[in-house]
Chain A
Amino acid sequence: MKSFAFHSPETVPDAFALLNDVSESKLLAGGMTLLPTIKQRLAEPAALIDLAKIPQLSEIAVDEDALVIGAMVRHVDVVTSALVRSKVPMLVHLASGIGDPAVRNRGTIGGSVANNDPSADYPAAVLALDAIIVTDRREIPASTFFTGLFETSLEPSEIITSIRFPIPSTAGYAKFKSPASRYAVVGVCVAKAGGSVRVAVTGSGPCVFRVPEMETALETSFEPAAIASIKIGAAGLNSDIHADAEYRAHLITVMAKKAVAAAIQGL
């Protein structure tokens, strides 16, 4: 690795000041994507600003009708949180399927959401639950946060501090995973909040997206059968060694049905 400076601020304003003042600096959360990227020389930051010593970023709390998960909360913390399990058990299931135990012991929800990998699991939950991405300066609705391949509406030097998940009536997540990386080849999150249903798909396009046709059908009848005949077009979907676009299009309906079934069971 090329050398870099390392800073460990203890407050969010200090982290912002460093990120803003030190040129070519990057935030370090769990490092599960950033460190391999640096090792491959795909990124060469002059400084890393570590968020690990800012305690309030690692909190999980309920605030009114929302589950608030701090940006530095690790996947294993979500898996083992009694609070998350009681409020949004779907997130426990989703987090327990990310990577492997060592990845879950380091990787964070804030890092996953900020990176917006097209095959990451969390963006599907954030979009389906209509979550709010809380930063050091504003609140960004999920609907305007994920803007493209590895792209978000975060400004330079903006820091995610937490994700606010409105607590749904029920939600389910199902993914067809790569057996090697456990990344989602296709992942679908379905969430029902009162009479409203949102369906979000990850792993399939350049960025997580919703399927309005399935949402309308599920608002009429919240059963897997309600969406069984809905075909997704292959245009614009990813084709790679894991699956071609036609196969992914087929899998979206299959995984959506499984996600609805999981939501009905309350998983």
Chain B
Amino acid sequence: MIINFTLNGRPRKMDVEPATLVSELLRETLNLTGTHVGCDTSQCGACTVLFNGDAVKSCTLLAPSLDGAALTTIEGLSATSGSNRLHPMQEAFHENHGLQCGFCTPGMVMTAVALATRNPVPTEAEIRHGLEGNLCRCTGYQNIVASIMAGAVAMNAPAIGE
């Protein structure tokens, strides 16, 4: 079936088999392998993407549901500033050592961006509640929480030099 959607800011028209997960479409058809598949059972959150701005797990979203929607993946974050510069949330994960092995990181960053967009000044408790659907098996949550606190500030600060 034909679907029309916006992928990382650009319109896309694709012919998809209905029984296709968005995680499969991204990784296997579109070669956007920044979206990771950890558990494939909607528990770990590594595959989190933004669907109309909301954090959702792409392993539990069907490609036909993309029709008419806007999808943002980890690859689409830096593009929002029109340069190769990292998104402020990615920068904050870098600065605060918010990753160890890095497998969960794309999902953590996407969840964090959605959270900080909806709640510009999140408390530590709100961040931990907001991360309930994202598992870090290195158990590096402390620095992830610190990254998101810093990233939320950076995302909502006036841009300098742009």
Interface positions of A (Cβ within 8 A of B): 1-6, 8, 28, 31-32, 35-36, 39, 48, 50, 52-53, 76, 99-103, 105-106, 180-182
- A selection of 14 A-B contacts at a CB cut-off of 8 Å is A1-B19, A2-B19, A3-B18, A31-B61, A32-B60, A35-B60, A52-B65, A101-B114, A102-B42, A102-B45, A103-B42, A105-B56, A106-B61, A181-B43
Query: Which single residue of chain A is at the shortest CB-CB distance from B64?
Result: A6
Q: Check if A76 sits within 8 Å of B62, measured CB to CB.
A: no
CA distance A102 to B54 in the complex (A): 8
Asked if residues A8 and B64 are in contact (CB atoms below 8 Å), the reply is yes
Binary A-proximity of B82-123 (CB < 8 A = 1, otherwise 0): 000000000000000000000000000001001100000000
Q: How far is the CA of A103 from the CA of B134 in the complex (A)?
A: 11
Chain A residues, CB < 8 A from B64: 6, 8, 50
Chain B positions within 8 Å of A, measured between CB atoms, are 1, 17-19, 21, 40-43, 45, 48, 51, 54-57, 60-62, 64-65, 67-68, 111, 114-115, 130, 132-134
Asked if residues B19 and A3 are in contact (CB atoms below 8 Å), the reply is: yes
Q: A36-B60, A102-B42 are in contact. Are A50 and B65 (CB under 8 A)?
A: yes
A residues less than 8 Å from B19 (CB atoms) = 1-4
A3 to B43 alpha-carbon distance, docked (Å): 24
Asked if A4 and B18 sit within 8 Å, CB to CB, the answer is: yes
Nearest B residue to A35, CB-CB: B60
Pick the contact of A76: B48, B54, B61 (CB < 8 A): B54
**Residues of chain A with a CB closer than 8 A to B68's CB:** 53
Report yes or no: B18 in contact with A6, Cβ–Cβ below 8 A: yes
Closest-CB distance, A228 to chain B (whole angstroms): 30
> Contact between A182 and B132 (Cβ–Cβ < 8 Å)?
yes
Residues of B within 8 A of A35 (CB): 42, 60-62
Collect the chain B residues with CB atoms within 8 Å of residue A101's CB. Answer: 55, 111, 114-115, 130, 132-133
Complex alpha-carbon distance, A106 and B41, angstroms: 15
In the bound complex, what is the Cα–Cα distance between A100 and B43 (angstroms)? Answer: 9
Cα-based distance from A50 to B61 in the complex (angstroms)? 12
Contact call A32/B42, Cβ cutoff below 8 A: yes
- Chain B nearest CB from A247 CB (Å) reads 24
Q: Which of B43, B56, B132 contacts A106 (CB 8 A)?
A: B56
- List 4 additional contacts besides A39-B40, A102-B55, A102-B133; criterion CB under 8 Å: A1-B21, A31-B61, A39-B41, A99-B133
**In the assembly, what is the distance between CA of A142 and CA of B127, in Å?**
36
Within the complex, the shortest CB–CB distance from B25 to chain A, in Å, comes to 13
Q: How far is the CB of B94 from chain A (nearest CB, A)?
A: 23
**Set of chain A residues within 8 Å of B40, measured between Cβ atoms:** 39
**Alpha-carbon gap, A103 to B45, bound state (A):** 10
Question: Which 6 residue pairs spanning A and B have beta carbons closest together?
Answer: A100-B133, A6-B18, A105-B54, A100-B132, A1-B19, A6-B64
How many angstroms between the C-alpha atoms of A8 and B43 in the bound complex? Answer: 27
Using Cβ atoms and an 8 Å threshold, which residues of chain A touch B134? Answer: 100
- Would you give the shortest CB distance from B63 to chain A, in whole angstroms? 9
Residues on the B chain within 8 Å of A5, using CB: 18
- Contact call B62/A31, Cβ cutoff below 8 A: yes
Asked if B18 and A48 sit within 8 Å, CB to CB, the answer is: yes
Q: Nearest-CB distance from A48 to chain B (Å)?
A: 7
